[in-house]
Protein backbone atom coordinates (compact mmCIF):
# COMPACT_ATOMS: atom_id res chain seq x y z
CA UNK A 1 0.00 0.00 0.00
CA UNK A 2 1.58 3.34 -1.06
CA UNK A 3 1.75 5.64 1.95
CA UNK A 4 1.79 9.45 2.11
CA UNK A 5 1.98 11.79 5.09
CA UNK A 6 2.25 15.31 6.38
CA UNK A 7 5.17 15.81 8.76
CA UNK A 8 5.08 18.67 11.24
CA UNK A 9 5.52 19.69 14.86
CA UNK A 10 2.79 19.96 15.96
CA UNK A 11 0.65 18.40 13.24
CA UNK A 12 -2.65 17.61 14.97
CA UNK A 13 -4.34 20.71 13.55
CA UNK A 14 -3.42 19.89 9.94
CA UNK A 15 -6.25 19.71 7.41
CA UNK A 16 -4.03 17.81 4.96
CA UNK A 17 -4.96 14.23 5.98
CA UNK A 18 -8.71 14.88 5.60
CA UNK A 19 -8.20 16.77 2.35
CA UNK A 20 -5.77 14.31 0.74
CA UNK A 21 -7.63 11.17 1.83
CA UNK A 22 -10.87 12.63 0.41
CA UNK A 23 -9.09 13.27 -2.89
CA UNK A 24 -7.69 9.71 -2.94
CA UNK A 25 -11.14 8.26 -2.24
CA UNK A 26 -12.83 10.34 -4.94
CA UNK A 27 -10.42 8.87 -7.50
CA UNK A 28 -10.97 5.31 -6.29
CA UNK A 29 -7.49 5.18 -4.77
CA UNK A 30 -8.72 5.16 -1.17
CA UNK A 31 -8.32 1.40 -0.70
CA UNK A 32 -4.82 1.40 -2.03
CA UNK A 33 -3.28 4.69 -0.84
CA UNK A 34 -3.29 6.19 2.63
CA UNK A 35 -2.27 9.69 3.85
CA UNK A 36 -1.23 10.00 7.50
CA UNK A 37 -0.06 12.67 9.96
CA UNK A 38 3.39 12.27 11.50
CA UNK A 39 4.49 14.46 14.39
CA UNK A 40 8.22 14.70 14.88
CA UNK A 41 10.40 17.26 16.66
CA UNK A 42 13.21 18.96 14.72
CA UNK A 43 15.94 16.77 16.20
CA UNK A 44 14.23 13.63 14.91
CA UNK A 45 13.15 14.97 11.51
CA UNK A 46 15.96 13.80 9.27
CA UNK A 47 16.11 10.25 10.65
CA UNK A 48 12.31 9.96 10.41
CA UNK A 49 12.28 11.06 6.76
CA UNK A 50 15.17 8.78 5.80
CA UNK A 51 13.28 5.80 7.25
CA UNK A 52 10.12 6.54 5.29
CA UNK A 53 10.98 5.05 1.87
CA UNK A 54 11.65 1.70 3.57
CA UNK A 55 8.21 1.86 5.21
CA UNK A 56 6.32 2.18 1.93
CA UNK A 57 6.03 5.97 1.80
CA UNK A 58 6.19 7.47 -1.69
CA UNK A 59 6.05 11.08 -0.60
CA UNK A 60 5.26 13.59 2.11
CA UNK A 61 4.13 17.10 2.73
CA UNK A 62 6.35 18.98 5.12
CA UNK A 63 5.04 21.76 7.32
CA UNK A 64 6.24 24.04 10.12
CA UNK A 65 8.98 23.92 11.35
CA UNK A 66 10.65 21.46 8.96
CA UNK A 67 10.51 23.12 5.53
CA UNK A 68 14.13 24.29 5.53
CA UNK A 69 15.41 20.95 6.82
CA UNK A 70 13.37 19.16 4.13
CA UNK A 71 15.20 21.04 1.40
CA UNK A 72 18.56 20.48 3.08
CA UNK A 73 18.25 16.69 3.20
CA UNK A 74 16.96 16.24 -0.36
CA UNK A 75 19.17 14.77 -3.10
CA UNK A 76 17.55 16.88 -5.81
CA UNK A 77 15.44 20.04 -5.58
CA UNK A 78 13.27 21.95 -8.03
CA UNK A 79 14.16 25.49 -8.98
CA UNK A 80 11.26 26.78 -6.86
CA UNK A 81 12.35 24.88 -3.74
CA UNK A 82 16.00 25.89 -4.03
CA UNK A 83 15.30 29.55 -4.76
CA UNK A 84 12.68 29.82 -1.99
CA UNK A 85 15.04 27.99 0.36
CA UNK A 86 12.31 25.67 1.64
CA UNK A 87 10.41 22.56 0.55
CA UNK A 88 6.85 21.55 1.43
CA UNK A 89 6.78 18.41 -0.72
CA UNK A 90 9.13 15.42 -0.76
CA UNK A 91 9.03 12.44 -3.13
CA UNK A 92 10.86 9.20 -2.51
CA UNK A 93 12.13 7.38 -5.58
CA UNK A 94 14.90 4.91 -6.33
CA UNK A 95 17.14 7.82 -7.24
CA UNK A 96 16.76 9.44 -3.83
CA UNK A 97 14.71 12.18 -2.17
CA UNK A 98 13.32 14.97 -4.38
CA UNK A 99 12.20 18.32 -2.93
CA UNK A 100 9.56 20.61 -4.39
CA UNK A 101 7.77 23.71 -3.14
CA UNK A 102 4.09 23.74 -4.12
CA UNK A 103 3.28 26.66 -1.80
CA UNK A 104 4.41 28.97 -4.60
CA UNK A 105 2.41 27.31 -7.39
CA UNK A 106 -0.53 26.92 -5.02
CA UNK A 107 -0.67 30.66 -4.39
CA UNK A 108 -0.55 31.43 -8.12
CA UNK A 109 -3.27 28.87 -8.86
CA UNK A 110 -5.45 30.36 -6.13
CA UNK A 111 -4.90 33.87 -7.52
CA UNK A 112 -5.77 32.70 -11.02
CA UNK A 113 -9.00 31.17 -9.73
CA UNK A 114 -9.93 34.40 -7.94
CA UNK A 115 -9.91 36.41 -11.14
CA UNK A 116 -9.92 40.06 -10.22
CA UNK A 117 -9.63 43.33 -12.03
CA UNK A 118 -9.06 43.05 -15.75
CA UNK A 119 -8.75 39.28 -15.78
CA UNK A 120 -10.88 36.34 -16.78
CA UNK A 121 -11.03 33.08 -14.84
CA UNK A 122 -8.14 30.82 -15.72
CA UNK A 123 -5.91 33.67 -16.84
CA UNK A 124 -3.31 32.28 -14.51
CA UNK A 125 -0.18 34.12 -13.63
CA UNK A 126 -0.91 36.65 -16.38
CA UNK A 127 -3.11 38.38 -13.85
CA UNK A 128 -0.11 38.79 -11.56
CA UNK A 129 2.30 39.96 -14.24
CA UNK A 130 2.95 43.69 -14.18
CA UNK A 131 0.93 44.35 -11.03
CA UNK A 132 2.36 45.89 -7.87
CA UNK A 133 2.07 43.49 -4.95
CA UNK A 134 2.35 44.26 -1.25
CA UNK A 135 3.38 41.34 0.96
CA UNK A 136 2.78 41.86 4.68
CA UNK A 137 5.17 39.84 6.84
CA UNK A 138 8.65 38.42 6.38
CA UNK A 139 8.43 35.07 8.15
CA UNK A 140 8.43 31.55 6.78
CA UNK A 141 5.15 31.90 4.88
CA UNK A 142 6.30 35.11 3.16
CA UNK A 143 9.24 33.45 1.38
CA UNK A 144 7.24 31.32 -1.06
CA UNK A 145 4.66 34.10 -1.53
CA UNK A 146 7.28 36.72 -2.49
CA UNK A 147 9.15 34.32 -4.76
CA UNK A 148 5.96 33.19 -6.54
CA UNK A 149 4.71 36.73 -7.13
CA UNK A 150 8.09 37.95 -8.40
CA UNK A 151 8.53 34.88 -10.59
CA UNK A 152 5.10 35.53 -12.12
CA UNK A 153 6.09 39.09 -12.97
CA UNK A 154 4.70 41.21 -10.14
CA UNK A 155 6.63 44.12 -8.62
CA UNK A 156 6.91 42.88 -5.05
CA UNK A 157 7.20 45.13 -1.99
CA UNK A 158 7.60 43.62 1.47
CA UNK A 159 6.46 45.28 4.69
CA UNK A 160 7.23 43.77 8.08
CA UNK A 161 6.58 45.03 11.63
CA UNK A 162 10.27 44.46 12.30
CA UNK A 163 11.68 46.30 9.28
CA UNK A 164 15.10 44.65 9.47
CA UNK A 165 13.50 41.27 8.80
CA UNK A 166 11.89 42.54 5.58
CA UNK A 167 15.26 43.87 4.48
CA UNK A 168 16.93 40.55 5.32
CA UNK A 169 14.33 38.68 3.27
CA UNK A 170 14.88 40.97 0.28
CA UNK A 171 18.63 40.34 0.49
CA UNK A 172 18.16 36.59 0.86
CA UNK A 173 15.47 36.02 -1.76
CA UNK A 174 16.48 34.85 -5.22
CA UNK A 175 13.87 37.14 -6.72
CA UNK A 176 13.35 40.83 -7.30
CA UNK A 177 11.62 42.50 -4.35
CA UNK A 178 12.06 45.63 -2.26
CA UNK A 179 11.35 46.41 1.38
CA UNK A 180 8.85 49.18 2.15
CA UNK A 181 8.35 50.98 5.49
CA UNK A 182 5.18 53.00 4.89
CA UNK A 183 3.16 51.38 2.11
CA UNK A 184 0.23 53.17 0.52
CA UNK A 185 -2.20 50.25 0.70
CA UNK A 186 -4.49 51.63 -1.99
CA UNK A 187 -1.77 51.69 -4.62
CA UNK A 188 -1.28 47.91 -4.95
CA UNK A 189 -3.08 45.53 -7.31
CA UNK A 190 -2.38 42.59 -5.01
CA UNK A 191 -2.14 42.57 -1.20
CA UNK A 192 -1.09 39.38 0.63
CA UNK A 193 -1.14 39.05 4.42
CA UNK A 194 1.34 36.38 5.51
CA UNK A 195 1.54 37.56 9.13
CA UNK A 196 -0.12 35.80 12.02
CA UNK A 197 -2.39 38.83 12.58
CA UNK A 198 -6.02 37.74 12.69
CA UNK A 199 -5.23 34.22 13.86
CA UNK A 200 -6.24 35.08 17.42
CA UNK A 201 -8.90 37.66 16.64
CA UNK A 202 -6.60 40.71 16.46
CA UNK A 203 -7.82 43.73 14.51
CA UNK A 204 -5.73 43.66 11.32
CA UNK A 205 -6.24 47.38 10.74
CA UNK A 206 -4.70 48.15 14.12
CA UNK A 207 -1.66 45.91 13.55
CA UNK A 208 -0.99 46.25 9.81
CA UNK A 209 -0.32 49.37 7.67
CA UNK A 210 -3.72 49.12 5.99
CA UNK A 211 -7.10 50.78 6.32
CA UNK A 212 -10.42 49.33 5.08
CA UNK A 213 -10.56 52.43 2.84
CA UNK A 214 -7.50 51.19 0.95
CA UNK A 215 -9.41 48.32 -0.64
CA UNK A 216 -11.14 48.64 -4.02
CA UNK A 217 -12.56 46.57 -6.85
CA UNK A 218 -9.22 46.96 -8.67
CA UNK A 219 -7.51 44.70 -6.11
CA UNK A 220 -7.02 41.07 -5.22
CA UNK A 221 -6.53 40.53 -1.49
CA UNK A 222 -5.09 37.31 -0.04
CA UNK A 223 -5.09 36.42 3.66
CA UNK A 224 -3.03 33.34 4.44
CA UNK A 225 -4.75 33.18 7.85
CA UNK A 226 -7.82 30.98 7.88
CA UNK A 227 -10.48 29.90 10.29
CA UNK A 228 -14.12 29.02 10.36
CA UNK A 229 -15.20 32.46 9.17
CA UNK A 230 -13.76 34.95 6.67
CA UNK A 231 -11.03 37.02 8.31
CA UNK A 232 -11.80 40.69 9.10
CA UNK A 233 -9.26 41.62 6.42
CA UNK A 234 -11.09 39.65 3.73
CA UNK A 235 -14.48 40.86 4.96
CA UNK A 236 -13.35 44.46 4.45
CA UNK A 237 -11.84 43.61 1.05
CA UNK A 238 -15.05 41.90 -0.09
CA UNK A 239 -17.14 44.85 1.09
CA UNK A 240 -15.00 47.12 -1.13
CA UNK A 241 -15.51 44.86 -4.15
CA UNK A 242 -12.01 43.35 -4.20
CA UNK A 243 -11.40 39.77 -5.30
CA UNK A 244 -10.34 37.66 -2.32
CA UNK A 245 -8.41 34.46 -1.63
CA UNK A 246 -8.21 32.83 1.79
CA UNK A 247 -5.49 30.63 3.21
CA UNK A 248 -7.61 27.52 2.89
CA UNK A 249 -7.83 27.92 -0.89
CA UNK A 250 -4.05 28.26 -1.03
CA UNK A 251 -3.77 25.14 1.14
CA UNK A 252 -6.07 23.22 -1.22
CA UNK A 253 -4.14 24.33 -4.30
CA UNK A 254 -0.71 23.46 -2.86
CA UNK A 255 -2.11 20.11 -1.74
CA UNK A 256 -3.50 19.41 -5.21
CA UNK A 257 -0.11 20.10 -6.80
CA UNK A 258 1.60 17.77 -4.31
CA UNK A 259 -1.05 15.09 -4.94
CA UNK A 260 -0.37 15.21 -8.66
CA UNK A 261 3.39 14.90 -8.12
CA UNK A 262 2.92 11.68 -6.12
CA UNK A 263 0.06 9.99 -7.97
CA UNK A 264 0.39 11.45 -11.47
CA UNK A 265 -3.32 12.28 -11.38
CA UNK A 266 -5.01 15.66 -10.89
CA UNK A 267 -7.37 15.53 -7.88
CA UNK A 268 -10.87 16.98 -7.65
CA UNK A 269 -10.37 20.44 -6.11
CA UNK A 270 -13.97 20.69 -4.87
CA UNK A 271 -13.66 17.41 -2.98
CA UNK A 272 -10.51 18.77 -1.34
CA UNK A 273 -12.17 22.12 -0.53
CA UNK A 274 -15.13 20.46 1.18
CA UNK A 275 -12.88 18.15 3.19
CA UNK A 276 -10.52 20.97 4.22
CA UNK A 277 -13.35 23.27 5.27
CA UNK A 278 -15.21 20.44 6.99
CA UNK A 279 -12.40 19.98 9.47
CA UNK A 280 -12.22 23.70 10.26
CA UNK A 281 -13.31 23.36 13.87
CA UNK A 282 -11.68 20.09 14.79
P1 LIG B 1 5.28 32.16 9.55
O2 LIG B 1 6.23 31.03 9.33
O3 LIG B 1 3.86 31.70 9.69
O4 LIG B 1 5.41 33.25 8.56
P5 LIG B 1 6.83 33.53 11.58
O6 LIG B 1 8.08 33.17 10.88
O7 LIG B 1 6.77 33.40 13.05
O8 LIG B 1 5.61 32.67 11.03
O9 LIG B 1 6.43 35.01 11.16
C10 LIG B 1 5.31 35.62 11.64
C11 LIG B 1 5.11 36.93 10.90
O12 LIG B 1 3.96 37.58 11.44
C13 LIG B 1 6.27 37.90 11.05
O14 LIG B 1 6.37 38.67 9.86
C15 LIG B 1 5.81 38.76 12.22
O16 LIG B 1 6.40 40.05 12.28
P17 LIG B 1 7.79 40.27 13.11
O18 LIG B 1 8.88 39.78 12.20
O19 LIG B 1 7.84 41.74 13.32
O20 LIG B 1 7.66 39.49 14.36
C21 LIG B 1 4.35 38.89 11.90
N22 LIG B 1 3.51 39.28 13.02
C23 LIG B 1 3.12 38.51 14.07
N24 LIG B 1 2.33 39.21 14.90
C25 LIG B 1 2.22 40.46 14.37
C26 LIG B 1 1.54 41.66 14.76
N27 LIG B 1 0.77 41.71 15.86
N28 LIG B 1 1.65 42.75 13.95
C29 LIG B 1 2.39 42.71 12.83
N30 LIG B 1 3.06 41.61 12.40
C31 LIG B 1 2.98 40.50 13.17
pLDDT score for 232: 94
Cα dist from 244 to 5, 69, 217, 258, whole Å: 30, 32, 10, 23
CA of 197 to the centre of ligand 1 (A): 7
Give pLDDT tens digits for 250-260.
Answer: 999 999 999 99
Per-chain mean pLDDT for the chain: 93
Neighbouring residues of 72: CB distance < 8 A, sequence distance ≥ 6: none
φ, ψ dihedrals at 30, nearest 5°: -65, -30
pLDDT score for 123: 47
C-alpha torsion sign, points 149, 151, 155, 156: positive
pLDDT score for 83: 95
Residue pair 185/210 in contact by the 8 Å Cβ criterion: yes
Does the model's pTM come out above 0.75?
A: yes
Catalytic residue, chosen from 15, 34, 66, 67, is 67
pLDDT score for 124: 46
Give pLDDT tens digits for 95-137.
Answer: 899 999 999 999 999 999 986 554 455 544 448 999 999 999 9
Give yes or no for residue 158 CB within 6 A of ligand 1: no
How sure is the predictor about 218, in pLDDT bands with cuts at 50, 70 and 90? very high
Give pLDDT tens digits for 153-199.
Answer: 999 999 999 999 999 999 998 889 999 999 999 999 999 999 999 88
Following CA atoms 79, 81, 85, 91 in sequence, which dihedral angle do they give, to the nearest 10 degrees?
Answer: -140
CA of 223 to the centre of ligand 1 (A): 13
Residue pair 67/45 in contact by the 8 Å Cβ criterion: no
Give yes or no for residue 194 CB within 6 A of ligand 1: yes
Neighbour tally for 249: CB within 10 Å: 23
Query: pLDDT at residue 282 above 50?
Result: no
Amino acid sequence: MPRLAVIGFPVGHSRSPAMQNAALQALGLGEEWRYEAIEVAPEGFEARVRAMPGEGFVGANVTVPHKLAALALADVASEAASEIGAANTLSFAAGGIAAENTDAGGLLAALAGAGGAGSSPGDGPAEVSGRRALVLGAGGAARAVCWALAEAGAQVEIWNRTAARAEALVADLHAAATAVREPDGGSYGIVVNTTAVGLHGEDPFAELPLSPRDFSSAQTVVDMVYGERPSPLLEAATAAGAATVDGLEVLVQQGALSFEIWTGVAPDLDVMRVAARGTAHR
